[in-house]
Amino acid sequence: MKVRITTLLFLLIVTAAHGQDKDKLFGVEAPKTRSGFILSGQGDFDIPAADMAKRFGVSYRVGPSVLYKTSSNWIFGVKWDFILGSKIKQDSLMINITDKYSAKSGGLYEFINNSGERVGIPVYERGYAAGITAGKIIPINRLHPDNGLTLLTTVGFIQHKLDIYDKDKAVPQLRGAYLKGYDRLTNGAFVEEYVGYSYFGKHQLVNFTIGLDALFGFTQDRRDYLFDVMRSDNKQRLDILYGLRAGWFIPIFKRKSEDLLFE
């Protein structure tokens, strides 16, 4: 009886010692990490903070990325996000070309056009953020070495402005170069941190990531003069976006010779 117990304990110790790499007891090798390119499309729901919150409300980011994952789970690549929003908080916007009866509702600003009619011009938040990203996937389960906690850092260039969409050219004050005096063009460098979970299916059919990110933009207003407030606009800004991100992966992983042999 003692011999059997001793033998069982020995087998358990040996199994635990080698469990991170392979199951020696049954001769089953644990899966290995895969490497290759990853094409991705991602979307963010963003809440602004700091100077960004003074100008805009909640917004969205959508865009592609091209990444490369190494066999040690390091990730490198580039990403591009389009910034989209419709909640504008700029109270002074175009006050010099409206009248006391002009209303602002539903994202529309009212003006008198060339024919003396009152028209509504929509104003949107538009921009982009492009950068170089790098990070690592930290596996949680040895049986799924490609999946786990994902930490990414992105550095790059961000730009945003007010898109005053006068498609019919109904307001003379918003034509051509005059429009630049109202659009609040802003750009500069940014740093973004992402913490999430990444999953790659065994047969590469279901692959995704979901997590939280924070973007810090060190930007500056770029217009020499604003017509509505009659001053220059070139102050330094801190633009922050806190986001919930989800993305879909299309992995192009390298295939091992043994996979081809036993397929």
Amino acid (1-letter code) at residue 144: H
Q: What is the mean pLDDT of the chain?
A: 84
pLDDT at position 74: 98
Nearest CA among 134, 138, 136 for reference residue 153: 134
Higher pLDDT, 84 or 205: 84
Does the pLDDT at position 16 exceed 60? Answer: no
Cβ atoms of 241 and 47 within 8 Å: the answer is yes
What average pLDDT does this structure show over 129-133?
98
Nearest CA among 110, 108, 102 for reference residue 122: 108
CB-based burial label for 86 (10 Å; 0-12, 13-18, 19+): middle
18-56 pLDDT per residue, tens = 444 444 444 456 688 999 999 999 999 999 999 999 999
192-221 pLDDT per residue, tens = 999 999 999 987 789 999 999 999 999 999
Cβ atoms of 113 and 171 within 8 Å: the answer is yes
Assign 260 a pLDDT band (cuts: 50, 70, 90).
very low
pLDDT at position 105: 63
Does the pLDDT at position 186 exceed 50? Answer: yes
If you ran DSSP here, which 8-state letter would residue 89 be given?
-
Distances in whole angstroms, Cα of residue 249 to Cα of each of 37, 128, 132, 133, 258: 10, 21, 18, 15, 25
The fraction of the chain above a pLDDT of 70, given in percent, is 83
Q: State the fold for domain 34-89+124-262.
A: Porin (2.40.160)
pLDDT at position 205: 86
Mean pLDDT lowest for which of 58-67, 129-138, 188-197, 225-234?
Answer: 225-234
CA angle 22, 26, 32 (to 5 degrees): 25
What average pLDDT does this structure show over 175-183?
87
Q: Where are the domains of the chain?
A: 1-30, 34-89+124-262
